[in-house]
Structure 1
Amino acid sequence: MKKIINQPKHVVDEMLQGLVFMHGGLVERLDGYDVIVRKTAKRGKVGLISGGGSGHEPSHAGFVGRGMLSAAVCGAVFTSPTPDQILEAIKAADEGAGVFMVIKNYSGDIMNFEMAQEMAEMEGIEVASVVVDDDIAVENSLYTQGRRGVAGTILVHKILGHAAETGKSLTEIKELADALVPQIKTIGLALSGATVPEVGKPGFVLAEDEFEYGVGIHGEPGYKKEKLQPSQALAEELVAKLLQDFNAQAGEKYGLLINGLGATPLMEQYVFANDVAQLLKDKEIEVVYHKIGNYMTSIDMAGLSLTLIKLEETSWLEGLEATVETPAW
C-alpha cells in the first residue's frame, strides 16, 4: 500500500484538520466531533445536513457552505457515523426552522440518522429526511435493502440547498426531496478496487485487462465483468441502462453528472463525456445541465459513474445553477 498518510487510524482526524486549515474561511469543525459546519450566520432558515463514511471525498464535507449543506458528519472510512455525531450536526445546523437530513441508502446510515433524529426531536428540534437510492446497477446489494445511494446524492444536496437558501419551509423541502429523488439515476464502472488505509489492500482485484460494471462506492459487487473496451462501448452500456430505467423520450430535458471515483484522470473523464454527449444527441435527449469531476469518490478506485437527472421542474435547474460558496462545488 502506497499512500500519503501517517498512521491509518488517524486518517479521518488529520484529513478534517487539513480541510479546515485550507478552507477556514468557509467551514469549521465542531470541537470533539468529526462534524464540519459552515461559518455563515444563522438566519432562521431550514438547516441541511448529510454525511456518511469517509473515503468519498470531497463528499460530504466539501459541500458544506452557503447554498448547500449546513453541516456534514464524517464517519470512519466506509463506516456510518454514530448517532451522537449526527445529533451534534443537527444541533449545529438548527436555525429554528428545523433540519433536513439527506441520507444515502445504506442500512447503517439509515439506522444511525434515524436514531439521531429521534434524539433531536426529544430536544425540541423538528427533523425530516429523504433517503437517496439513485444507483440502478443492482436492486439489492451489500449493506442495503434496495438500490444504493451514490453520486446523485450531490445533486440532491445542491437543489435542496438552494431551496433552503431561498427560505423554503421544512415541509416544502420534504415535498421537493420526495419528488426529486426518483428522478435521479446513476450507474458506474470500476477498473480497480479501493484500498482502505487500515486494511492495506484493495477490497477487490480485477485482472489487468478486466473491468466491472455496477460496482458500488464501497467496492460492493456490480452486475458483470468484461474485458476492457473503448470508452465509446462503456458509454453505450451506461447510457442505455439509464435511458431504459427512465423510459426516456426524445425531447425530454436532463442534467448529467460524470463523476470520477478517485483515480481516473480528467483526461479520461472528458473522453467519456464526449461519447456520452454524442449518444444523448443521437437519442434526441436535451442536456441542459452538465458537470464533471471527482465528487463522490471511493478513495483510490479507478472508474467513474454517470448520473442523469430528469429536470421536470424549472426550479430544479435553477437550484443546480445557483451560485454557492463551498470548498468543493
Structure 2
Amino acid sequence: MKKFLNATDTLLTESLGGFALAHADIIELSAPPYVIRRKQPKQVGKVALISGGGSGHEPLHTGLVGLGMLDAACPGQIFTSPTPDQMLAAAQAVDTGGGVLFIVKNYAGDVMNFEIAAELLDSPNATVLVNDDVAIPKSQSTGRRGVAGTLIVEKIVGAAAEQGADLAACKALGERVNQNTASMGVALSSCTVPALGNPTFTLGEQEMEMGVGIHGEHGRATLPLTTASAITAQLAAHIDDDLKPQANAQALLHINGFGATPLMELYLIYALAAEHWQQQGVNIVRSLVGNYTTSLDMAGCSITLTLLDDEMLRLWDAPVHTAQLRWGC
C-alpha cells in the first residue's frame, strides 16, 4: 500500500483539518464530535439539511455543505457510520427553527444511528432514505443501497430549502427525487482501506465487478472485461428495467467516478450513455461528470439517471456554492 499519510489512525482528523483550512470561506469544522457545517448566514426558519456517512466517499458529503445544499455533514471513520452524537450536534448547530431533514443513505449503520439522533432531537425532524442502487433487488430484506443518487437528492432538496420550502415539502420532494433516480456501478479494481492495507477484493487482469457499491464490497457478478460500449449497455439496461423511462422524458445523466478513473474515460461513458437514452427518445437536459461519490482509490464508475419534472429541473439549476458544486452565484 502506497498512500500519503502519517498514521492510519490520524488520517481522518488531519484530512478534515486540511479541508476546513482550504474552504474556510464556506465551512467550519467543529470537533469533537466532528461536524462540517455551513458558514454562510441562513434565514431564520429555514429547514436544515444534514447528511453524512463513512469517510472515503469524498466529496460526498463534506464537499456538498454550503449555500443551496447541506447545512451540515457528519463524517465517520473510513467506511464507518458517524455516531449519533455527531448527528445530534450537527442538528443542534444548524437548526434555526424550521426543523431538520436528515438525508440518509440506506446502510444499516447509517440508518440506525440517524434514527437514534432523531429520537434525541427536540426540534421537528424528518428523514429521506436514499436507495437508488438498482444492483440490489427490491426484495432484499435490507433494501437497496444509497449511492451516487444521494448527491442529486441533496442538491434539489437543498435548493428548495434555500427558497423557503417547509419540512414536509422538503421531505416529499426528496422522496420524489429518490423514486425517480436509479444508479448502477462497475469496478475494474477494488479499493484499499488504509487500516486494512490490502485491496478488499481482487480481480484478474481481464475481469470486472458488475453492480458494486461504494464500500469496497463485491458486486452482483464478476464478469469478463469487455468494451466501454458493452459495459455502458449493461449498466443502462439495469437502470431501464427499474425506471422505465418514456420517450420525451427529460433527465439528468450523472457519470460518477469511484476515485481512480480518469475523466477521459468518464466522458467516454457519458457519451455512450447519452446516446443510449437519446435513441429511446429521452431528453438528456442536464449532466454531471466526475468523481463525486467515491470509494477511495477504486477504479470504476457508476451511471445515475434521474427523471426530472419542471420543478426538479428548476431546483437543480438554482444557485449552489459548496466546495464541490458551484454555479449561479
Task: Identify the residue that residue 250 of structure 2 maps to in structure 1.
Answer: 253
Partner SS, residue 160 of structure 1 = helix
1:196-207 alignment to 2 at 5 Å? 196-207=193-204
Residues 130 and 146 of structure 2 are in contact (CA less than 8 Å); yes or no, is this contact kept in structure 1?
yes
Q: Which runs of 5+ in 1 are unaligned?
A: none
The answer as to 2:236 corresponding to 1:239 is yes
Cα-to-partner distance string for 1:137-159 (whole Å, 9 max, x where unaligned): 122799x7010000000000000
Partner SS, residue 9 of structure 1 = coil
| Letter matched to residue 133 of structure 2 | D
Task: Identify the residue that residue 102 of structure 2 maps to in structure 1.
Answer: 101
The answer as to 2:30 corresponding to 1:30 is yes
| Letter matched to residue 62 of structure 2 | A
Task: Identify the residue that residue 166 of structure 1 maps to in structure 2.
Answer: 163
CA drift of 1:198 comes to: 0.6
CA drift of 1:176 comes to: 1.2
Q: 1:292 aligns with which of 289, 292, 297?
A: 289
- The whole-number CA distance in structure 1 between the counterparts of 2:102 and 2:192 is 29
Residues 185 and 302 of structure 2 are in contact (CA less than 8 Å); yes or no, is this contact kept in structure 1?
yes
Residues 97 and 170 of structure 1 are in contact (CA less than 8 Å); yes or no, is this contact kept in structure 2?
yes
- The whole-number CA distance in structure 2 between the counterparts of 1:185 and 1:140 is 12
- The whole-number CA distance in structure 2 between the counterparts of 1:34 and 1:287 is 38
| 1:152–1:324 distance in 2 versus 1, CA, 3 Å | same
CA drift of 1:214 comes to: 0.2
Q: Which 4+ runs in 1 deviate beyond 6 A? A: none
Task: Identify the residue that residue 130 of structure 1 maps to in structure 2.
Answer: 128
The answer as to 2:183 corresponding to 1:186 is yes
CA drift of 1:226 comes to: 1.5
Task: Identify the residue that residue 321 of structure 2 maps to in structure 1.
Answer: 325
Cα-to-partner distance string for 1:185-230 (whole Å, 9 max, x where unaligned): 1001001111111111111111111101101101222222212111
| Letter matched to residue 60 of structure 1 | H
- The whole-number CA distance in structure 1 between the counterparts of 2:147 and 2:238 is 16
CA drift of 1:288 comes to: 1.0
CA drift of 1:33 comes to: 2.1
Partner SS, residue 223 of structure 2 = strand
Task: Identify the residue that residue 87 of structure 2 maps to in structure 1.
Answer: 86
- The whole-number CA distance in structure 1 between the counterparts of 2:200 and 2:139 is 15
Residues 141 and 220 of structure 1 are in contact (CA less than 8 Å); yes or no, is this contact kept in structure 2?
no
Partner SS, residue 8 of structure 1 = coil
Which stretch shows the higher mean deviation, 176-185 or 147-156? 176-185
Task: Identify the residue that residue 114 of structure 1 maps to in structure 2.
Answer: 115
| Letter matched to residue 51 of structure 2 | S
The answer as to 2:323 corresponding to 1:301 is no
- The whole-number CA distance in structure 2 between the counterparts of 1:300 and 1:95 is 38
| Letter matched to residue 320 of structure 1 | W
Partner SS, residue 203 of structure 2 = coil
The answer as to 2:273 corresponding to 1:276 is yes
Residues 257 and 292 of structure 1 are in contact (CA less than 8 Å); yes or no, is this contact kept in structure 2?
yes
TM-score (structure 1 length as normaliser): 0.96
Partner SS, residue 294 of structure 2 = coil
Residues 87 and 117 of structure 1 are in contact (CA less than 8 Å); yes or no, is this contact kept in structure 2?
yes
| Letter matched to residue 161 of structure 2 | A
Residues 138 and 222 of structure 1 are in contact (CA less than 8 Å); yes or no, is this contact kept in structure 2?
no
Residues 33 and 85 of structure 2 are in contact (CA less than 8 Å); yes or no, is this contact kept in structure 1?
no
Task: Identify the residue that residue 12 of structure 1 maps to in structure 2.
Answer: 12
Partner SS, residue 156 of structure 2 = helix
Q: Number of matched residues?
A: 324
- The whole-number CA distance in structure 2 between the counterparts of 1:139 and 1:243 is 14
Cα-to-partner distance string for 1:26-77 (whole Å, 9 max, x where unaligned): 0010132221001011311111010000000001000000110000000000
- The whole-number CA distance in structure 1 between the counterparts of 2:157 and 2:220 is 31
Which stretch shows the higher mean deviation, 243-252 or 229-238? 243-252
| 1:222–1:31 distance in 2 versus 1, CA, 3 Å | closer
Partner SS, residue 212 of structure 2 = coil
- The whole-number CA distance in structure 2 between the counterparts of 1:93 and 1:140 is 34
Residues 49 and 90 of structure 1 are in contact (CA less than 8 Å); yes or no, is this contact kept in structure 2?
yes
Cα-to-partner distance string for 1:60-100 (whole Å, 9 max, x where unaligned): 00000011000000000000000001100111120111110
Residues 134 and 185 of structure 1 are in contact (CA less than 8 Å); yes or no, is this contact kept in structure 2?
yes
| Letter matched to residue 37 of structure 2 | V
TM-score (structure 2 length as normaliser): 0.96
| Letter matched to residue 201 of structure 1 | N
